[in-house]
Amino acid sequence: MKIRLYYLLSLSIALFLASCSEEDDNIIDTQSPVINIEEPHNEEGISPGEEIHFDALFTDNVELASYKIEVHNGFDGHTHAYVKQEGDQDNPWSYSKVFTIEAGQKSFNAHHHIPVPAEINGEPISEGHYHFGVFVTDAAL
């Protein structure tokens, strides 16, 4: 059995707040950043002990600030609140990391190899559906 990755709020999850420019107080950045994920593919299977190959292009009309990659189990039927069911394994894997983008960039190529452990604390990780989320923060905060 493999781990299945599902995009969590897929291609355009973006956090942004309107902000005034230092040059002109009348200019407000209201355009959200764009996320274009090349890999992994939706519903791609990854076996424990392998790695997730992540490639994405982030763009914004003014400036990008950071991005976050998050992986967590979806054993709860996509409600994002895990409720243990009888027979469920007790060892789900999760990953969460925030990366800073150098100031002034309107475009950024992200590339990572995220290892998926075969075991945690000597026990095999729980296999099944996992959510793969990508979040981008606009510098206009």
pLDDT tens, residue by residue, 104-131: 999 999 999 999 999 999 999 998 888 8
Does 91 fall in a domain? yes
Percent of the chain with pLDDT over 90: 56
Does 100 fall in a domain? yes
pLDDT of residue 133: 93
Does 120 fall in a domain? yes
Does 22 fall in a domain? no
At 89, the pLDDT band (50, 70, 90 cuts) reads low
Question: Mean pLDDT over residues 53-80, rounded?
Answer: 86
- Give, in order, the Cα–Cα distances in Å from 21 to each of 24, 62, 101, 108, 129: 5, 10, 19, 21, 43
Does 21 fall in a domain? no
**Most confidently predicted of 17-26, 35-44, 71-80:** 35-44
- Give the predicted TM-score (pTM) of the model: 0.73
**For tokens 């790695």, what's the residue?**
51
Domain of 7 in residue numbering reads as: 3-16+40-138
Does 28 fall in a domain? no
